[in-house]
Homo-oligomer: A and B are copies of this chain.
Amino acid sequence: MLFTTKTEYGLKALGFLAKSKLKEPVSLGEISRQTGISLSYLEQIFSKLKKGGVVLSLKGADGGYVLARSAKQINLFDIIESIEGDLEIFYCMANGGCSSRGCLTKKVWVDLQGTITKTLKKYKLSDLI
């Protein structure tokens, strides 16, 4: 499985956020009610999305989250990278690169990584709503 449920839920939640025409922040409680995703799980996901610069937050009463920029300017790579971290395709690449001389997979890995990245950058959050 390339992506976890966090990415799936994250996309769903962000889609909901993007649809909200209000300029006011939307609380995770509201998103939770509308999407069925648990509040505490949403908190984990949005913490990553905030660190990744995809959303902005406002604490306190009437607080919540807003997209950091328009849905047209947020691509899926931004979102997925925020949530999943760097995609690692082969174990031999996991620790800062393959060091064994006989490694056969590096070339493919680099190509595949690039291909996936390119595809994910092609899609914007606005394409999903």
Contact = CB atoms under 8 A, between A and B. Distances in A.
A104 to B, nearest CB: 4
A7 B115 CA distance: 19
A7 B15 CA distance: 35
B127 A107 contact: yes
Interface string A44-75: 00000000000000000000000000000000
Interface string A100-121: 0010110110011001100110
A39 to B, nearest CB: 20
Contacts of A104: 11-12, 15, 128-129
B76 A2 contact: no
A100 B28 CA distance: 22
Given A2-B88, A5-B91, A111-B123, 12 more contacts: A1-B89, A2-B2, A2-B90, A3-B89, A4-B91, A7-B90, A8-B105, A11-B105, A105-B128, A108-B128, A111-B122, A115-B116
Interface of A: 1-5, 7-8, 11-12, 15, 76, 87-92, 102, 104-105, 107-108, 111-112, 115-116, 119-120, 122-123, 127-129
